[in-house]
Amino acid sequence: MIPLHPVPEAKHTCPFCQTLLEPRGWHIPGMRNLAELVCSACGREFYGDLTAGQALYTPLLLEKKTGVVHDVYGIDWFAEWLRESYAARKDYSIPFEVQERSTVTQPVVLLNCLDTLYGHCLLKLLNAQHYLDHRPDVDLIVMVPSFLEWMIPDGVSQVWVVDLPLRQGTEWNDWLAREIRHHLQPFTTASLSVAFSHPHPDDFDIERFTGVKPFPLDEWPTDIEQPAVTVIWREDRLWRNERQPASRGLDKIKRQFTFEERPAKIQAELVVALAEALRQEWHDLDFAVVGLGRSEKLPDWINDLRENELNTDRERQWCARYAATHVVVGVHGSNMLLPSAHAASVVELIGEDRWGNFLQDILFRPGDSREMFFRYRFIEDDVSASRLARLLTSLLRGLPKFRFLMAPRFCKHGIDYELLR
Ligand SMILES: [Zn+2]
């Protein structure tokens, strides 16, 4: 926890004098948690990131007068969000609802889950459980964008629901900063949660957030007769046809002229081809498609649960579907967070352009490390439907045998094997 109120703890150095800056106060105009800082040597004033979320790795410094962002980390995207939001500072009211779920009796800690990326918001929220389970000496306030309200776990003292769409998630809004100050000021002291960007799987239990119990891993049948397979659909990042070039540079131009006025159509064909191939293996296959965008019609025998926009009821229904799924399949991205947290196993399609973000979108269900390799597979995003079907078949049929071969009784020394016969 980072001391926040009344005076935050922040270690930033004046880029001109190399002197440690003096924290004077704090300002939270949105996703950014900032210390107000002054240089005692040159008198310059700054805003410095408090070390939460991405700023835990790369806390940046912004000069108040000039708007210049001092970025010693070379983290361009994070610096740009700060620079641009400050240059275009807003001051307008947005819906801000305070839900008092229990009486606050202790010092408070604020978990700020605002962000411009869906996955970032969700991952920050998963930090809530740590305070609920391990910090009985503090009361937790969670600030979330409204689309995450349904995932607030029991035990949170206050929920601040901010109706801030993702596309405005980087915005610097001084009205919002005043509102946050107004609600935090009554508390004598307040801390800020570090809001880890990649919380450890041991530190949260997804059921506490979604209310849905994940697939019981020990109930995977020995001889699977009706596998449940769920494809995660999105239309802004696609399962590419193996003939389709990656959408980069010249390739991108070539793609515009050679393929796909309707790329989602090709993706739909691939999904249907995958389902058809699996149906050859299992006549009673339970195959569903879940996700955002409904631009192509799917055959009636596919359980089509897609939506054009996120809505809470549907999201709960999606989680229930993941939790009944033997294997979820989808392209890399935050679309895989909740599916991977609930389903028994995952096959992810990941292109070279996403290698740098490997595993950041997977919420692992911890277990034996060898079995984890078996249950989490990663394959190129231009894989053909038939090859993907073979991989899924191998996984669906192979898990029981794999578990048998790797069972503790066959790899722990000191067991009397005569007794096992
Ligand atoms: Zn200075």
Amino acid 251: pLDDT: 53
How many whole angstroms from 21 Cα to the centroid of ligand 1? 8
Question: What confidence tens digit (pLDDT) does each residue in 180-225 have?
Answer: 999 999 999 999 999 999 999 999 999 999 999 999 999 999 999 9
Question: What confidence tens digit (pLDDT) does each residue in 129-170 have?
Answer: 999 999 999 999 999 999 999 999 999 999 999 999 999 999
Mention every residue, 6+ apart, whose C-beta is less than 8 A from residue 412: none
Residue 44 near residue 65 (C-beta atoms within 8 A): yes
Amino acid 409: pLDDT: 85
> What is the model's pTM?
0.93
Identify the band that residue 416 occupies on the pLDDT scale cut at 50, 70 and 90: confident
**Residue 59: pLDDT over 70:** yes
Mention every residue, 6+ apart, whose C-beta is less than 8 A from residue 395: 327, 345, 347, 374, 375, 377
Residue range 77-101: mean pLDDT, rounded: 98
How many whole angstroms from 38 Cα to the centroid of ligand 1? 8
Amino acid 408: pLDDT: 85
**Residue 385: pLDDT over 80:** yes
The neighbouring-strand residues paired with 139 are 108
Using CA atoms, how far apart are residues 213 and 190, in angstroms rounded to an integer? 33
Question: What confidence tens digit (pLDDT) does each residue in 341-351 have?
Answer: 999 999 999 99
Residue range 393-417: mean pLDDT, rounded: 90
Q: How many CB atoms lie within 10 A of CB 55?
A: 22
Which protein residues have their CB within 5 A of the ion that is ligand 1? 14, 16-17, 39, 41-42
Residue 116 near residue 81 (C-beta atoms within 8 A): yes
Amino acid 354: pLDDT: 93
Question: What confidence tens digit (pLDDT) does each residue in 224-270 have?
Answer: 999 999 999 999 999 987 655 555 555 554 544 454 457 889 999 99
Please check whether the two domains, 96-200 and 217-406, share a CATH topology. yes
How many whole angstroms from 78 Cα to the centroid of ligand 1? 23
List the one residue out of 125, 41, 106, 133 whose CA is nearest residue 334.
125
Say whether domain 96-200 belongs to CATH 3.40.50: yes
How many whole angstroms from 199 Cα to the centroid of ligand 1? 36
How many whole angstroms from 36 Cα to the centroid of ligand 1? 14
How many whole angstroms from 45 Cα to the centroid of ligand 1? 8
CA 207 → CA 36, 126, 152, 243, 365, distances in Å? Answer: 38, 11, 11, 40, 12
Coil, helix or strand at residue 161: strand
Identify the band that residue 5 occupies on the pLDDT scale cut at 50, 70 and 90: very high
How many whole angstroms from 55 Cα to the centroid of ligand 1? 22
How many whole angstroms from 19 Cα to the centroid of ligand 1? 6
Amino acid 14: pLDDT: 98
How many whole angstroms from 84 Cα to the centroid of ligand 1? 23
Amino acid 310: pLDDT: 85
Mention every residue, 6+ apart, whose C-beta is less than 8 A from residue 318: 290, 305, 338
How many whole angstroms from 37 Cα to the centroid of ligand 1? 10
How many whole angstroms from 40 Cα to the centroid of ligand 1? 7
CA 164 → CA 28, 114, 152, 263, distances in Å? Answer: 14, 8, 17, 30
Using CA atoms, how far apart are residues 299 and 356, in angstroms rounded to an integer? 36
CA 242 to chain centroid, in Å, comes to: 28
H helix runs in 13-103, sequence order: 76-87
How much of the chain, in percent, has pLDDT values that exceed 90?
A: 88
Tokens of 142: 């969670």
Amino acid 420: pLDDT: 67
Residue range 41-55: mean pLDDT, rounded: 97
**Residue 108: pLDDT over 90:** yes
Question: What confidence tens digit (pLDDT) does each residue in 290-341 have?
Answer: 999 999 999 999 999 999 998 899 999 999 999 999 999 999 999 999 999 9
Tokens of 332: 């890399």
Averaged confidence pLDDT in the chain: 93
User: What would be the CATH architecture of the domain defined by 217-406?
Assistant: 3-Layer(aba) Sandwich (3.40)
Domains of the chain by residue range: 2-87, 96-200, 217-406
Tokens of 62: 């912004």
